Chains A and B, each alone.
Chain A
Amino acid sequence: MLKLNVNGKVHQVDVEPDMPLLWVLRDTIGYTGTKYGCGVGACGACTVHLNGVPVRACQTPVSSAIGHQVVTVEGLRDHVARAVQAAWEKLDVVQCGYCQSGQIMSAVALLSHNRAPTDADIDNAMSGNICRCDTYSRIRAAIHEAAKNLA
């Protein structure tokens, strides 16, 4: 049994230590907001926060998350996250929506340490997150909008 702290709650999970955090979250615990997109860390759909830092859950063995705070899209609570989600809603960013959990996790992580990101900062922080519906312009605008509201 491994003890995993997800969204402030400790879960006991009986899985192999090399199982990627993504599948423990999705299949073992049931947090399905974190998505599978590629399994090789190339698309960002599985982005979660590990001690506040964005990581690709598909590339994170569950063993390396033990003793740390994992936050998924379902566990977003703070004012930065609320500002990001409000901006996403105001600008109607989503289309198919499948990548958006990961986009939001990356955006929240960016704004948590940079309250006034430039377009270049956004490119740096967000270019690991693919959106095949190409909602990028609205994601960029929503990050600026959230930053404005957090200022």
Chain B
Amino acid sequence: MDDIRIENENRREFIKAGLGLTLGLYLAPRLAFSGTPGGVHAGTVLEPNAFVRIGTDNTVTVISKHLEMGEGTYTGLSTLVAEELDAAWAQVRVEGAPADVTRYANLFLGAQLTGGSSAIANSFEQMRRAGATARAMLVSAAAQRWQVPVDSITVHQGVVTHAHSGRHATFGELAEAASRLPVPDNVALKDPKQFEYIGKRFPRKDTHDKINGSAIYTQDVKLPNMLVAVVAHPPLFGARLKSFDAQRAKAIRGVVDVVAIPTGVAVLAPDFWSAKKGRDALSVEWDESDAFRLSTSEIFAQYRELAGKPGALARNDGNAEQAIAQAAKRLEAEYEFPYLAHASMEPLNCVVRLGADGCEIWNGEQSQTGDQHAVAAVLGIKPEQVKIKMLYAGGSYGRRANPHSDYVVEAVQIAKAIQGRAPVKMVWTREDDMRAGYYRPMYLHRIAGGLDGQGNLVAWQQRIVGQSIMSGTAMEPRMVKNGIDATSVEGAHNLPYAVPNIAVDLHSPRLQVPVQWWRSVGSSHTAYSTETFLDEAAYAAGRDPVEFRRALLNKHPRHLGVLELVARKSGWGQPLAPGKAGEKRGRGVALHKSFNTYVAQVAEVTVRPGGRYSVDRVVCAVDCGVAVNPDVIHAQMEGGIGFGLSAALYGQITLHDGQVEQSSFPDYPVVRMNEMPRVEVYIVESQEKPTGVGEPGVPPIAPAVANALFAATGQRLRKLPLRLA
């Protein structure tokens, strides 16, 4: 099963590295299965850890347990290894790790999984230690070779030096000797003052291949004799296949097979276009007797009814109800959040090859352990017989880590339906991808607040209604407690502001519409309701929104830190440059912590006659602890702002009698070049442990824009996407 080669891969990628420090003689076929998980490679001399390999050709290969889907993990993890190894940046390459939870578990999550903005946070010590261990062995090898004390040797930029005698050697020259030494147990890590990589900008490791077309995504995999499968899915959630007629599909040139699978009918051909023509020519009858048939307005009506009753309590400080009843001024607001699609640029796809001893998968793989178990269950094999080659993912925003392994299992079902006669690349069209569900759930929030006679916020009562993401998944036992799915209330139940009476409760209705985490998960809605409501409270109290927040954050220095920084950098308090005649301008602030990272943003908007508006400038302050690679952090804030802005301006999946009304970018618009604001990012200097940056840039942008629109127009928008009257 090893060394299955992809036909169209770049042959230069097969580099013989010779005897190496960790894995000895090896081939580095980036797209082939490199070695058996947990096993030993042929010619291996020594394997001090699973993350670093140094070849006699002087390459340092970092093995990434995390998916590179754009968020910069390959670069960040390389930074950590290079730091402690004192490698030269140019000699460091990255390879995706095989699926093996015994070596490559996410230390925060216990499974091999890229998610929760945790890649750098959970790997920070692990990858540094991996680099430091390799460095110690290279130094020992040099000390033995030169017969000098270990502590007389220095390492800098990939060169090991004994200054006193003027001798030096490259990593490659020492790798073989080092590979025969015992692996040290407890190597010392650098003091942060000695950092040469961490905190500085180094270029991304994936840029080169992504600007010349050579980077391989799942969509690009071509195996010998591979068939492409396009699937006809039911038009409604909960509908099932009743019958189909393949005659017209089979008449399409190229179509070689049409098979029923549990989720529909798959049409197979050697290329996508023929398979899609075949799929479109199919006649299929669906059993819609158990199908979901509600429309968006009906779902909201049900949610509104639920919102009239108390839910499961997620937080209860003081007595919010009583405090509101006694408040000098009362505020109430109701918020509507639609379903949202991830809409990654690479529509979902997966390549599967069945063999006598298991199954191989090529995928932009975000959830190895979960997918191994799901696939093993389908095939009646052991999870470790499911081998996964992790490729680049063309975006994900959470979607590729499906808690039910939906699309991976579908691809496996197709391979199984043709008895593994050929490798299968399942390709969803854009429309398939957008209509398949697994959306960010719809939510309805209600917040009531009370101010005392001095304008102090004394009460906050929030009710949230929406589907649970975690119920029915393997994560339910950990994430759902006492009827509270932590991801439904995160960002609301931990509101940082000093309000003496706070109650947050939750209803989790069950619907057939499949839901899933979407970049920033619960914070994608809770940041909106809490930060716009707080803004309303500030105005009701006659106070400046920044000053109002500041006064409530005495016990939260890191929240306060990003708030002060963003206020200073945005010129908060100074007048905005006026717009043209007839235009109104406004500025709004929002602040939110998610995934232990603190982000504050100030948005500036211009509203034109008729209600069209643009977001012109966004200033962003972020505190994510130690800034491992500041440029990647900047990029993630820029990207998070754009992603959140797409949802704020346009994002909504709606249902009509159960049917998804959107299908592609013309009816599910996203931000384009001409709508992207100028973004400025400022990082708070910190010695705290690093935290994630993939998601936390998203939550504050929608409320910052909404607060800016209020400042410009006096309109409070409580329904997403944001449309002015």
Interface, chain A (partner B; CB < 8 A): 16, 19-20, 23, 26-28, 30-40, 42-43, 45, 72-74, 76, 85, 88-89, 92-101, 104, 122-123, 126-140
Contact = CB atoms under 8 A, between A and B. Distances in A.
Given A95-B70, A95-B71, A96-B346, A27 B272 contact: yes
B673 A122 contact: yes
Interface string B616-650: 00000000000000010001001111110110000
* Interface of chain A: mostly helix, strand, loop or mixed: loop
A92 B631 contact: yes
A68 B395 CA distance: 33
B345 A132 contact: yes
Given A96-B394, A98-B346, A104-B211, 17 more contacts: A32-B8, A32-B220, A40-B430, A94-B204, A95-B72, A96-B346, A97-B206, A97-B215, A98-B217, A98-B344, A99-B345, A100-B211, A130-B345, A130-B665, A132-B397, A134-B641, A134-B671
B222 A30 contact: yes
B270 A36 contact: no
B568 interface: no
Contacts of B674: 123, 127
Nearest to A94: B210
B491 interface: no
Contact of A30 (B8, B643, B670): B8
B186 to A, nearest CB: 36
Nearest to B676: A136
Contacts of B271: 23, 27-28
A131 to B, nearest CB: 7
Contacts of A101: 213
Contact of B207 (A33, A89, A126): A89
Interface residues of B, number: 64
Contacts of B638: 134-135, 137-138
A33 B212 contact: yes
Contacts of A130: 345, 665, 670, 672
A16 B72 CA distance: 41
B619 to A, nearest CB: 13
Contacts of A95: 70-72, 635, 639
Contacts of A129: 672-673
A19 B639 CA distance: 35
Interface string B338-375: 00000111110000000000000000000000000000
A100 B210 CA distance: 7
Contact of B666 (A35, A40, A97): A40
The 10 A-B pairs with the shortest beta carbon distances in the complex, nearest first, are: A33-B213, A134-B642, A98-B394, A97-B210, A96-B70, A95-B70, A27-B271, A136-B676, A32-B220, A73-B213
B237 interface: no
Contacts of A19: 273
A20 B271 CA distance: 12
A35 B673 contact: no
A127 to B, nearest CB: 5
B208 interface: yes
B94 to A, nearest CB: 14
Contacts of B207: 88-89, 92-94
A69 to B, nearest CB: 17
Which of A98, A123, A129 gathers the greatest number of chain B CB atoms within 10 Å? A98
B177 interface: no
A98 B429 CA distance: 15
B127 to A, nearest CB: 20
Contacts of A73: 211-213
B679 interface: yes
Contacts of A40: 430, 664-666
Contact of B347 (A20, A36, A100): A36
A29 to B, nearest CB: 10
Contacts of A38: 430, 664-665
A98 B673 contact: no
B427 to A, nearest CB: 8
B344 A96 contact: yes
A97 B673 contact: no
B393 A96 contact: yes
Contacts of B322: none
B673 A89 contact: no
A94 B212 CA distance: 12
B392 A97 contact: yes
B184 to A, nearest CB: 35
A133 B70 contact: yes
B281 to A, nearest CB: 14
A138 to B, nearest CB: 7
B397 A127 contact: no
B203 A89 contact: yes
B556 interface: no
B678 interface: yes
A36 B272 contact: yes
19 contacts: A23-B271, A31-B213, A35-B345, A37-B346, A37-B430, A40-B430, A43-B665, A89-B203, A89-B207, A92-B631, A94-B70, A94-B206, A95-B72, A126-B673, A133-B70, A134-B641, A134-B642, A134-B645, A137-B676
Contacts of A94: 70, 204, 206-207, 210-211
B673 A123 contact: yes
A32 B213 contact: yes
Contacts of B208: 89
A133 B673 contact: no
A87 B673 CA distance: 18
A87 to B, nearest CB: 10
A134 B665 contact: no
Nearest to A62: B273
B253 interface: yes
Contacts of A43: 345, 430, 665
Given A27-B270, A133-B70, A37 B345 contact: yes
A120 to B, nearest CB: 9
B345 A96 contact: yes
Contacts of B393: 96
A97 B394 contact: yes
A74 B222 CA distance: 17
B722 interface: no
Contacts of B546: none
A42 B347 CA distance: 14
